[in-house]
Structure 1
Amino acid sequence: MTASNPMDGGDTAWVLVCAALVLFMVPGLAFFYAGMVKSRNTLVMIQQNFVALGVVTVVWILIGHSIAFGEDTGAGLFGDLKLFALQNLDEAPRPALHVVVPGIAIPTLAFVAYQMMFAIITPALITGATADRLKIAGWVVILAVWPVVVYAPIAHWLFDPEGWLAVRGAQDWAGGMVVHASAGAAALAILLVVGRRTGWPGTETVPHSVPLTMIGAGILWFGWFGFNAGDGLQANGIAAQALINTHVAAAAGMVIWSIAERFRQGRSTVVGAATGAVAGLATITPCAGYVDTASALLIGAVAGLVCQVALRLKVLFRFDDALDVIAVHFVGGVLGSLLLGLFGKKAINGIGADGLFFGGGFSLLGNQALAVVAVVAFSFVVTLVIAFAADRTVGLRLPADEEFGSDRRRQGMDAYRFAPSFVAGAGLASGAVDEPPLTATRIAAPSSVQYRLVTVLVRAIDAGALESALREAGARSIVVTEVHAPSTHRDTVVMRDQRSELALAQRLKVEVLVRDTDVERVLDALDSDTIGGHEGYVQQAAEPLSAQARTDEDPVS
Structure 2
Amino acid sequence: MDQGNTAFILICAALVLLMTPGLAFFYGGLVKAKSVISMMMLSFGAMGLIGVLWVVYGYAIAFPGSDGLIPPWSIDWSAIGLKGLLEVPDGAAYPPLAFVAFQATFAIITVALVSGAIADRAKFGSWMIFAAIWATIVYFPVASWVFNFGLADDGSFAYGGWITYGMQEWFGVGAIDFAGGTAVHINAGAAALALALVLGKRLGFQKGVHVPHTPPFVLLGAGLLWFGWFGFNAGSELAADGTAALAFVNTIAAPAAALLAWMVVEKIKDGKPTSVGAASGAVAGLVAITPACASLDPIWAIVLGLIAGAVCALAIELKYKWGFDDSLDVVGIHLVGGLIGTLYLGFFATATGLFWTGDATQLLVQAIAAVSVLVYSFVLAYVIGFAIEKTIGFRVKNEDEVAGIDTVVHGEEGYVLEGARA
Taking structure 1 as the reference length, the TM-score comes to 0.69
**Which of 99, 107, 117 is equivalent to 2:105?**
117
Aligned residues: 401
Say whether 1:408 aligns with 2:407: yes
Q: Do the aligned partners of residues 73 and 304 (structure 1) sit closer, same or farther apart at CA in structure 2, a change above 3 Å counting?
A: closer
**Which of 138, 150, 159 is equivalent to 1:150?**
138
Say whether 1:67 aligns with 2:80: no
SS state at 1:274 partner: helix
Q: Could you tell me which residue of structure 2 aligns to residue 195 of structure 1?
A: 200
Task: Considering Cα pairs closer than 8 Å and 6+ residues apart, tell me whether 1 or 2 has the greater RCO.
Answer: 2
Whole-angstrom distance in 2 between the partners of 1:118 and 1:283? 16
SS state at 2:237 partner: coil
**Which of 329, 340, 346 is equivalent to 1:341?**
346
The alpha-carbon deviation at position 126 of structure 1 amounts to 1.3
Q: Could you tell me which residue of structure 1 aligns to residue 36 of structure 2?
A: 42
The alpha-carbon deviation at position 143 of structure 1 amounts to 1.5
Whole-angstrom distance in 1 between the partners of 2:11 and 2:67? 32
The alpha-carbon deviation at position 383 of structure 1 amounts to 1.0
Q: What is the letter of the counterpart of residue 397 of structure 2?
A: P
Whole-angstrom distance in 2 between the partners of 1:182 and 1:39? 29
Q: Could you tell me which residue of structure 1 aligns to residue 83 of structure 2?
A: 87
Higher helix proportion (structure 1 or 2): 2
Q: What is the letter of the counterpart of residue 416 of structure 1?
A: Y
SS state at 1:204 partner: coil
Say whether 1:173 aligns with 2:214: no
The alpha-carbon deviation at position 74 of structure 1 amounts to 4.9
Deviations 1:313-359 (A, max 9, x none): 2122210111111000110001100001111114xxxxxxx211121
Q: Could you tell me which residue of structure 2 aligns to residue 210 of structure 1?
A: 215
**Which of 384, 389, 392 is equivalent to 2:390?**
392
SS state at 1:383 partner: helix
Q: Could you tell me which residue of structure 2 aligns to residue 463 of structure 1?
A: none
Q: What is the letter of the counterpart of residue 13 of structure 1?
A: A
Percent same amino acid at aligned positions? 46
Deviations 1:268-291 (A, max 9, x none): 111111111110000000001111
Taking structure 2 as the reference length, the TM-score comes to 0.91
Say whether 1:249 aligns with 2:254: yes
Deviations 1:239-277 (A, max 9, x none): 110011011001000011111111111111111111111
Q: Could you tell me which residue of structure 2 aligns to residue 370 of structure 1?
A: 368
Q: Do the aligned partners of residues 104 and 228 (structure 1) sit closer, same or farther apart at CA in structure 2, a change above 3 Å counting?
A: farther
Whole-angstrom distance in 2 between the partners of 1:35 and 1:75? 38
Deviates more, 1:163-172 or 1:8-17: 163-172
CA contact (8 A) 1:128 1:325 kept: yes
Whole-angstrom distance in 1 between the partners of 2:12 and 2:183? 18
CA contact (8 A) 1:256 1:301 kept: yes
Whole-angstrom distance in 1 between the partners of 2:101 and 2:207? 43
**Which of 137, 145, 150 is equivalent to 2:125?**
137
Q: Could you tell me which residue of structure 1 aligns to residue 157 of structure 2?
A: none
The alpha-carbon deviation at position 72 of structure 1 amounts to 1.9
Q: What is the letter of the counterpart of residue 386 of structure 1?
A: I
Q: What is the letter of the counterpart of residue 114 of structure 2?
A: I
Q: Could you tell me which residue of structure 2 aligns to residue 265 of structure 1?
A: 270
Whole-angstrom distance in 2 between the partners of 1:378 and 1:33? 25
Q: Could you tell me which residue of structure 1 aligns to residue 156 of structure 2?
A: none
CA contact (8 A) 1:146 1:383 kept: yes
The alpha-carbon deviation at position 73 of structure 1 amounts to 5.6
**Which of 297, 300, 309 is equivalent to 1:304?**
309
The alpha-carbon deviation at position 87 of structure 1 amounts to 2.2
Q: Structure 1 residue runs of 4+, over 3 Å off?
A: 73-78
Q: What is the letter of the counterpart of residue 81 of structure 1?
A: D
CA contact (8 A) 2:69 2:144 kept: no
Q: What is the letter of the counterpart of residue 145 of structure 2?
A: W
Q: What is the letter of the counterpart of residue 179 of structure 1?
A: V
Unaligned runs of 5+ in 2: 150-159, 168-173
Whole-angstrom distance in 1 between the partners of 2:56 and 2:391? 24
**Which of 354, 357, 364 is equivalent to 1:356?**
354
Whole-angstrom distance in 1 between the partners of 2:136 and 2:66? 16
Deviations 1:112-169 (A, max 9, x none): 0000000001011111111101110110101211111000111111111211122201
Q: Do the aligned partners of residues 297 and 211 (structure 1) sit closer, same or farther apart at CA in structure 2, a change above 3 Å counting?
A: same
CA contact (8 A) 1:26 1:50 kept: yes
The alpha-carbon deviation at position 403 of structure 1 amounts to 1.4
CA contact (8 A) 2:222 2:283 kept: yes
Q: Choose 1 or 2 for highest CA Rg.
A: 1
SS state at 2:140 partner: helix
Whole-angstrom distance in 2 between the partners of 1:193 and 1:367? 31
The alpha-carbon deviation at position 39 of structure 1 amounts to 0.5
SS state at 2:316 partner: helix
Q: What is the letter of the counterpart of residue 362 of structure 1?
A: A
Q: Could you tell me which residue of structure 2 aligns to residue 239 of structure 1?
A: 244
The alpha-carbon deviation at position 90 of structure 1 amounts to 6.0
CA contact (8 A) 1:180 1:330 kept: yes
The alpha-carbon deviation at position 49 of structure 1 amounts to 0.7
CA contact (8 A) 2:114 2:330 kept: yes
Q: Could you tell me which residue of structure 1 aligns to residue 154 of structure 2?
A: none
Deviations 1:80-117 (A, max 9, x none): 2321111223689x99xxxxxxx971111000000000
CA contact (8 A) 1:66 1:81 kept: yes
The alpha-carbon deviation at position 203 of structure 1 amounts to 7.1
Matches within 5 A, 1:442-481: none
Q: Could you tell me which residue of structure 2 aligns to residue 220 of structure 1?
A: 225
**Which of 1, 6, 16 is equivalent to 1:12?**
6
Higher strand proportion (structure 1 or 2): 1
Q: Could you tell me which residue of structure 1 aligns to residue 152 of structure 2?
A: none
CA contact (8 A) 2:69 2:145 kept: no
Q: Could you tell me which residue of structure 2 aligns to residue 496 of structure 1?
A: none
Whole-angstrom distance in 1 between the partners of 2:393 and 2:50? 20
Whole-angstrom distance in 1 between the partners of 2:207 and 2:365? 41
Q: Could you tell me which residue of structure 2 aligns to residue 316 of structure 1?
A: 321
SS state at 2:279 partner: helix
Deviations 1:448-485 (A, max 9, x none): xxxxxxxxxxxxxxxxxxxxxxxxxxxxxxxxxxx9xx
The alpha-carbon deviation at position 309 of structure 1 amounts to 1.4
